[in-house]
Amino acid sequence: MSNYGYIDLIDALKQSDPLRIFRSYAKGKSANKKQWSLIRQEIIALFFVFLAFASCSRREQVPQSQWADASPSAVETPELLAPIDSAHKEENLNAVLTQAEISQDAAENIMKSAQKDSAFSDALASATAGDPFLYFLVDKERPLPEGYEPDDLVPLNGGAYQINRSDLRLRKEAADSLEEMAAAARADGVTLLVSSTYRSYDYQVIVYNRNVREMGQEAADRESARPGYSQHQTGLVVDFGSIDDSFAQTKASEWLLANAGRFGWSLSFPDGYESVTGYRWESWHYRYVGKTLASFIDAYFGGIQQYALRFIYEWEKGASLDG
């Protein structure tokens, strides 16, 4: 085979011209062994080039969706999971804040805090780690469990505080805290008068019906709960002093506003929040929530107990849906 025959064959192969390949082959019958070995190498190399090309064209024909199915690892890398996960958490938190109708200020602060570090979720976890009735949401729309009655009520005998009747009872933990708080108030020259505490469902029936009789349905609903919907039924609530607006003018009220939180007590129905709590301002009505929850309410919810309890309620509802 002449040099021309060899070059022509390679050229023909490259152009995939079968007729020229045959002619070149025929022309080069006389080629020596060395030349044929070179030709074989070229043919083998071209065969691999052809294989690679053919496999590429086949790939192009595979529908896109099949490729997605065929390589799931491409969308499930750990690098991608982290941001998606935290974005979902942020979405959940935002949904809970909206659902719980938290004030815009508090909601923005909470979102900012949650984006920064885990301080908020840690505080939430501690605030809800103990007795669930400390943060149980009971308001105009959400009653206590039917027939609820605390099993650790203790009578109040008056120690550091005064009592205005003999049948007052609180849950043990609240009673102990009240004693501690009243001793601190007394040290500051303030005497706390305890006027109303635990009310059973049946007793609330009497209180509510009397209020309706005396002031009419609408006025009664502004300041007394229907049976089953009263915070007093938790055994964690104290009404102090005169149980009317004049209490706000007393030293005891001033002292409680400044100090109750550090003993775990929280004003349930503050001034200006009737649209949030459902109740008009009650300067005398404090609920024991424990020290951890009290500081959670102050730190993240501007001291508004209803916001914090509503947040926890919606948060747990969301969590139970997830789980």
Return residues touching Zn ion (CB under 5 A).
239, 285
Please state whether beta strands 162-163 and 193-196 pair in parallel, antiparallel, or not at all (unpaired): parallel
CB of 229 to Zn ion, least distance (A): 12
CB of 230 to Zn ion, least distance (A): 8
Contact 254, 219 (CB under 8 A): no
CB of 140 to Zn ion, least distance (A): 14
First to last CA, the chain: 80
Q: Which is nearer to Zn ion, 287 or 310 (CB)?
A: 287
> What phi, psi does 25 have (nearest 5°)?
-65, -45
Q: Which is nearer to Zn ion, 5 or 232 (CB)?
A: 232
Q: Which of 142, 197, 180, 178 is nearest to 316 (CA)?
A: 142
CB of 268 to Zn ion, least distance (A): 8
Cβ within 8 Å of residue 44, ≥6 positions away:
none
Other beta carbons within 10 angstroms of residue 144's beta carbon come to: 19
CB of 199 to Zn ion, least distance (A): 9
Distances (CA, A) of 205 to 96, 102, 144: 34, 31, 14
Instruction: Name the residue number minimizing CB distance to Zn ion.
Output: 285
Q: Which is nearer to Zn ion, 143 or 318 (CB)?
A: 143
Alpha carbon 72 to chain centroid, angstroms: 30
CB of 88 to Zn ion, least distance (A): 41
Please state whether beta strands 169-171 and 153-155 pair in parallel, antiparallel, or not at all (unpaired): antiparallel
Q: Which is nearer to Zn ion, 184 or 243 (CB)?
A: 243
Helix or strand (DSSP H, E) at 144? none
Q: Which is nearer to Zn ion, 285 or 310 (CB)?
A: 285
Q: Which is nearer to Zn ion, 286 or 296 (CB)?
A: 286
Alpha carbon 117 to chain centroid, angstroms: 14
